[in-house]
Structure 1
Amino acid sequence: MKRSTNLLSATRSPIAKRAYSSEMANALVQVSQNIGMGSAAIGLAGAGVGIGLVFAALINATARNPSLRGQLFSYAILGFAFVEAIGLFDLMVAMMAKFL
């Protein structure tokens, strides 16, 4: 009968094996993914503020010059689309940080 003389298995105690188990590694990966997703999603607050500023400017400009309401509204929708696109790109990065 051959006895295995694996130095690594001979020197590690069961406690040391548990400290480096794959369960612990998987848990650390999950935690780091969640932290990354949360920190990436903070940019969505900026998109919300930007959308609020776009429509606040629309209301202010319409109050100053009501005859340009249609043109101002089309510019506001364009600004809304740009700000929302940045928010969606940020959300995409957050989801990629979590699931890839």
Structure 2
Amino acid sequence: MKLHATTTMALLLLFLLASSLQVSMAGSEFCDSKCAYRCSKASRHDDCLKYCGICCAECHCVPSGTAGNKDECPCYRDKTTGEGPRKRSKCP
């Protein structure tokens, strides 16, 4: 029984490690460096990097600074998570 629990925990840890590496390695050098700066002061750093990377890959731009300035990149500014009352900006 102990071996099964240990194996399960090891597989879970391996999955989590692989998932985090995939997010950090995804994207281009341009997006990775721009998003690293954009998210440097974010309280939810990992989420910020994830969504910034997605938006950068689709829009090929990231607004300057660590917040605001979204008018510099209309595609980035206009991406949303959905429609209706729960609609909000997708890109940090």
**TM-score in terms of structure 1 length:** 0.34
Between Structure 1 and Structure 2, which shows a larger proportion of helix residues? Answer: 1
